[in-house]
Structure 1
Amino acid sequence: MSSFETIVPALAQALEKRGYATLTPVQKAVLGPELGEADALVSAQTGSGKTVAFGLAVAPTLLGGAQRFAAAGAPLGLVVAPTRELALQVRRELEWLYELTGAGIASCVGGMDMRTERRALERGAHIVVGTPGRLRDHITRGALDMSALKAVVLDEADEMLDLGFREDLEFILDAAPAERRTLMFSATVPRSIATLAQGYQRDAVRITAGGEEKQHLDIEYRALSVAPADRENAIINVLRYYEAANAMVFCNTRAAVNHLTARFNNRNFSVVALSGELSQNERSHALQAMRDGRARVCIATDVAARGIDLPNLELVIHADLPTNPETLLHRSGRTGRAGRKGVSALIVPGNARRRTERLLANAGLAATWASPPSADEVLRRDDERILADPSFGEPVKDEERDFAAALLERHGAELVAAAFVRLCRGSRSAPEDLIDVAPFALSKEKFARREEAPSRRDDFGDSVWFSLSVGRRQNAEPRWLIPMLCRTAGMSKREIGAIKMQPEETFVQIAADWADRFVAATGPDRKLQGSIAVRRIDGTPDLSRAGHQPPKPEKKPHRGKGIHGAPQNKFEKRAPSQGDQRPAGAFEQKPWAKKPGKPKFETTGAPKPKKAKKRKS
């Protein structure tokens, strides 16, 4: 093919065998005549084909004009990646790309057995792929011979610096021969990357891969606004609605990953977790389960999922909102790769809409605002999938014909069809009934005004009052009472009116059309969380009698306080000054405050002057 003319023939055959018809922009850029054998600083997003790009770029340097490698000895090429998963993924990509060259490729990553890696290095390898810390260990122990290196590639260089690997990278680059080629690939080029490039590259060619935005044109961004108590239920409905071959759910913490993994396992989802607390073996098994179809949902933190490429990843869900635009782009970039379509769904609690809009604007993305799929929408989507099942397009086989006729004769067509529907639906997790949120047809201005409007409860409308058997003495607070009430009855904050706290009980105002549902949700014992008794009140509660406590006698004022709790001068006047309306007794000189012979100030009503603080030299 014409687009492969400048590629080493063995690699061009590997690309054709892999099904490549055209090259991505970054792959074309590194093959340009202006690069040649020079160093390069390449700006390219993950998912743009940069692993194949730097494999193509360094091939002429490593092979030296030959078609195949000679016997393996000291490494000729070194690739440094920020995480174990990305390093192993790079190794897999280079293995098929260099298959016809006879290249030996070894990996050195944290979490693997160092003795096994050392033996592989002693046998010889043409290319070594590893993480900064483990590579430095092997260099320090003398297991990794850097003397024959012709090319060093830093993959995701910006991420390695963010993770604190600058010292390790400098150590590795200092150990490499001075005449080697150095290629740096980075999603962005901040000052730290520019400084590193200036110190370790010679006349580097700056390449900005065109078409980086195209990666995100294949991704449909959806911002789904939910009630805070419905966040996890919304994720369940999104997973059920799309039924993606592979889906990834991103959380900000390990604890959130563990929680969602347990919740989704209980809901019959085939799910795996990916976080920093897992061993390398566990993380490898989790990714392999996603690749071979044993698991369909991966719940991960950002660092653990850095650079991961899952071939059939169709859906990304942001369970926790990303902290910055770069993280949003990185997460979403796991889908919509190599021309495939994908969906990136942000789960947005009602109070986080403005922050999400700023996040999307800073990332240069446009998202469709909507409600998450309801239970009815999920079930309708299930019905559509059943009707479109390819099994209906296949002819009846001879071995099936007799039994199909027996089923129809015994149960009838309608009952057989109903049983088939029940079997299909029973194999899937039931969708969740979500709390209704405000309609999204509102413009941004109206939404902003509604958010900024002060909360008023005097016009709450028809309501019913309830008494809860917890009060201030039990540390009851609205911030945990309101979510508990919403979870119990499936309502939102809009259905809760005033909350009046008493020492031993709390009165809560519930919208009238939700009162019966709230009572039914409390069960026959009329209790919340097993111990909080609920009692319906006729009319408005009498706060003068409910939980009334006799007032405690007032404490005597502190000797350093005035009559109204205001600070009192140590030396007070014996009589009020003109115009002063305080009682005369308030100006009497206190016997204990008098120090004869040392008047501090005149009794003119002026406050005691403060001493000027000495300024330090």
Structure 2
Amino acid sequence: MPFSALPAVIGEALAARGYETPTDVQAAILAPETLGRDLLVSAQTGSGKTVAYGLAMASTLMGEEEKFGFAKEPQALIIAPTRELAMQVQRELTWLYGPAGARVASCVGGMNVREEQRALRNGAHIVVGTPGRLRDHLERGSLITSSLKVVVLDEADEMLDLGFREDIEEILDVTPPERRTLLFSATIPRPIAILAKTYQRDAMRIETTSAGKAHADIEYRAIAVAPADIEHAVVNILRFYEANGAMVFCATRENVRRLHASLVERGFAAVALSGELSQNERTHALQALRDKRARVCVATDVAARGIDLPDLGLVVHAELPIDPETLQHRSGRTGRAGRKGTCVLIVPYPRRRRAEGMLRAANVKAAWVPAPTIEDIRGQDQSRLLETIQPGDAAEDDLAVARQLLERHSAEEIAAAFVRTQRQNLPEPEEMFAGGPDERPARPDGPRAGFEDTVWFRMNIGRSANADPRWLLPLLCRRGHITKSDVGAIRIGDRETLFQIPRHVADRFAESLRRTAGADDDVLIEPAGDAPQPVQGGRRRPNEGGRPHAGGPRKQYSPRPYGRAR
């Protein structure tokens, strides 16, 4: 029996929950050489680590006993980064240790502190809490740490990222020096290694997140899009995969708010998670995801920490992670506990090189695929619809209605009406920029039609900023309220880009740039006159029109920018 070394009552609890064989991290924890030692464990999110450290504590907490006696003071303390994770840990340890008579109390923000004090006063063998609330109970005198035998730091790297180092150190400083310290972290960066060296004694290192294995259950895909098409790409990805649960990551609260509102407006059952929500709003949002009233969660990295959502099959990076560790944390929301998941990175054209570097650093192999088109999504809808409709036993009143419909309409008309009804409930996919410049060849005998009289504009970015017509064109169209057929030659140099606009369109284009300018934009768009000096080392779009004059000084122009790219 894989769990035979455990107390019988713990083994029975595992069997009752359907545990037959341990996961990798659980098997490593149960090895004989770990008995009684401090442990530094690197384990993938969703690998069964909560049960793993629950099993690791058993020998220390119970010894040869089969049941817990009354505990005047806590014997084990588990520190978790978020309220959601702490509550999840409490539930897991309750079914694991409950049959042995253990009481598991929680101390987390957003709950009634007096009820928590009462639970601690009545005797709790195991306490699970967040750093801030645990520190609060220490200061109130309601949490006594002198009898602690085991301290567990769950998701230690996340707690440091969230700024809980001071709270953690204050808690550990008042625990008995002979305690066991079990430190669990998805990654072991230098700050975690320093924390382990300070508070652990001869810790045994356990590594179960080997690069290939950590992502074995996640299929990674990367999609390069024009910057203006990111929101459309999110819509099409959600529609293409139609996962039972999906999480979309943004970098800021404002972007979460904007994308969530856009998805709801389009008909998606979506909720938002960000730091601006109250604890009550956050709880309602998570409950909507768990009971399937919502299918999509739009969140920031910090707001999503410690969340465990069942049946989360899709993770979408609407904005690139800041580093490989964040990529792994985000992606670990799916592909949990042996389930398969899909992770999609939306990469703006100018940031593809950075995305490729991040994937390499995370040792992740992602397939670069085109964004789902309307035709792709319609095809998926059709396949799913055909799989969903399965003839079976029908109630007599349903058959009666079916017979009446067949008397009035043909079977084909009824089926078509059903398909139309089903599609009406689905959000509409978005038309996306096809990518790449217009491929019509340049005219050998002069400017392209409509570009005989043009005005040149300048942007303060070039090849050094990964300028490319594939994302410059949709940017200009969005900001200047024009179509790509209104853009003539595009010349990209090292640090600037020149492009042509027909003279009869130029004033309207410039005015649109003024109206759509933003204070936080980085790309300047300025008029460059009628005959700018050629951009050194520049290149043209294949469909560019007439050539700018090669000689003479550059025409002077007002330095005031007409607009900046968002």
TM bracket, shorter-chain basis: 0.7 to 0.9
Measured at CA, do residues 531 and 251 of structure 1 come closer, stay the same or move farther in structure 2, by a change above 3 Å? closer
Residues of 1 paired with 2:294 and 2:275: CA distance? 19
- 1:328 CA displacement: 0.6
Q: State whether structure 2 residue 501 is matched by structure 1 residue 508.
A: yes
Shift of 1:528: 6.6
User: What is the identity, as a one-letter code, of the residue corresponding to 1:241?
Assistant: F
Instruction: Show CA shifts across 1:218-238 (max 9, x none).
Output: 111000111111110111010
Structure 1 segment 34-433 matched on structure 2, within 5 A: 34-209=33-208, 213-389=212-388, 391-433=389-431
What is the aligned-residue identity percentage?
A: 55
Question: What is the letter of the counterpart of residue 71 of structure 1?
Answer: F
Q: Which is further off, 295-304 or 274-283? A: 274-283
Distance apart, 1:461 and its partner CA? 6.6
Cα distance, 1:108 vs structure 2: 1.3
Q: Is residue 77–residue 149 contact of structure 1 (8 Å, CA) maintained in 2?
A: yes
Distance 1:206 1:24 in 2: 17
Aligned equivalent of 1:497: 488
The letter of the residue matching 2:448 is D
Please state whether the residue corresponding to 1:225 is helix, strand or coil.
strand
Q: In the alignment, does 2:477 pair up with 1:485?
A: yes
Q: Secondary structure at the match of 2:67?
A: coil
Q: Which residue of 2 aligns with 1:437?
A: 435
Structure 2 residue matching 1:5: 3-state secondary structure: coil
* Amino acid across the alignment from 2:407: E
Give the letter aligned to residue 462 of structure 1.
R
* Partner Cα distance (2:370, 2:316) in 1: 14
Residue equivalent to 1:573: none
What amino acid is the match of 1:131?
T
Amino acid at match of 1:408: L
- Give the letter for the 2:501 counterpart: V
Q: Would the alpha carbon gap of residues 271 and 460 (structure 1) be closer, same or farther in structure 2, given more than 3 Å must change?
A: farther
Cα distance change of structure 1 residues 95 and 354 upon mapping to structure 2, 3 Å threshold: same
- Tell me the distance in 2 between the aligned counterparts of 1:138 and 1:332: 34
Shift in Å at residue 209 of structure 1?
2.4
Q: In structure 1, what is the equivalent of residue 551 of structure 2?
A: none
**Structure 2 CA distance, aligned partners of 1:205 and 1:168?**
25
Q: Distance in 1 between matches of 2:20 and 2:446?
A: 64
Paired residues, what number?
A: 496
- Contact 2:315-2:333 at 8 Å conserved across structures: yes
**Rounded Cα–Cα distance in structure 2 between residues aligned with 1:464 and 1:201:** 74
Q: Distance in 1 between matches of 2:386 and 2:258?
A: 35
Cα separation, partners in 2 of 1:56 and 1:417, compared to 1, 3 Å = same
Structure 2 counterpart of 1:572: none
State the partner residue of 2:6: 7
* AA in 2 matched with 1:335: T
Distance 1:64 1:416, change over 3 A: same
Mark the CA change 1:153 to 1:252 in structure 2 (over 3 Å): closer, same or farther: same
Structure 1 Cα separation of the partners of residues 85 and 446 of structure 2? 55
Give SS of 2:121's match. helix
In structure 1, how many angstroms separate the alpha carbons of the residues matched to 2:150 and 2:474? Answer: 61
**Cα offset, 1:507, TM superposition:** 7.4
Q: Is the 8 A contact 1:48 1:212 kept in 2?
A: no
Q: Distance in 1 between matches of 2:260 and 2:54?
A: 37
Shift of 1:484: 5.8
User: Which residue of the partner structure matches residue 450 of structure 2?
Assistant: 464
Is the 1:45–1:212 contact (alpha carbons within 8 Å) kept by the matching residues of 2?
no
Q: Deviations over 1:59-96 (max 9, x none)?
A: 22122322222234321110011222222222222222
For the pair shown, the structure with the greater C-alpha radius of gyration is 1
Q: Is the 8 A contact 1:224 1:369 kept in 2?
A: yes
Shift, 1:206, TM fit: 2.0
2:272–2:297 Cα contact (<8 Å) kept: yes
C-alpha change, 1:213 and 1:105, in structure 2 (3 Å) is farther
Query: Which letter does structure 1 place at the counterpart of 2:194?
Result: T
Distance 1:96 1:186 in 2: 23
- Runs of 4+ off more than 6 Å: 456-461, 466-469, 478-482, 487-490, 527-532
Measure the CA separation in 2 of the matches of 1:186 and 1:10: 28
Deviations 1:454-479 (A, max 9, x none): xx99999735359999x99xxxxx99
Secondary structure of the 2:310 match is: coil
* Partner Cα distance (1:143, 1:231) in 2: 50
Shift in Å, 1:49: 1.5
TM-score norm. by structure 2 comes to 0.80
Q: Is the 8 A contact 1:81 1:156 kept in 2?
A: yes
Q: Which moved more, 1:161-170 or 1:120-129?
A: 161-170
CA distance in 2, matches of 1:23, 1:337: 15
Q: Which runs of 5+ in 1 are unaligned?
A: 440-455, 473-477, 501-505, 516-521, 533-539, 544-550, 553-617
SS at match of 1:231: helix
1:487 deviates by: 7.5
- Whether the aligned pair in 2 keeps the contact of 1:318 and 1:347 (CA below 8 Å) is yes
**Letter of the aligned partner of 2:450 in structure 1?**
V
Structure 1 pair 222/507, CA: closer, same or farther in 2 (3 Å)? closer
Contact kept? 2:325, 2:362, Cα under 8 Å: yes
Q: How far apart in 1 are the matches of 2:443 and 2:184?
A: 57
The residue matched to 1:464 in structure 2 has which SS?
A: coil
Deviation by residue 1:101-144 (Cα, 9 ceiling, x = unmatched)? 23221111223332232222222211111111211111011011
Structure 2 equivalent of residue 613 of structure 1: none
Map Cα deviations across residues 347-384 of structure 1 (whole Å, 9 max, x no partner): 01111111111111111111110111101110111111
Does the 8 Å CA contact 2:479/2:512 hold for their aligned counterparts? no
1:230 and 1:435 in contact (8 A); partners too: yes
**TM-superposed deviation, 1:152:** 0.5
CA contact (8 A) 2:172 2:199 kept: yes
C-alpha separation in 2, matches of 1:52 and 1:459: 75
State the alpha-carbon separation in 2 of the partners of residues 123 and 227 from structure 1.
60
CA separation of 1:458 and 1:328: change in aligned 2, threshold 3 A:
farther
Q: Which amino acid aligns with 2:248?
A: V
The 1:88/1:212 distance shift into structure 2, 3 A limit, reads farther
Bigger drift between 335-344 and 273-282 goes to: 273-282
Deviation at 1:39, TM superposition (A): 1.4
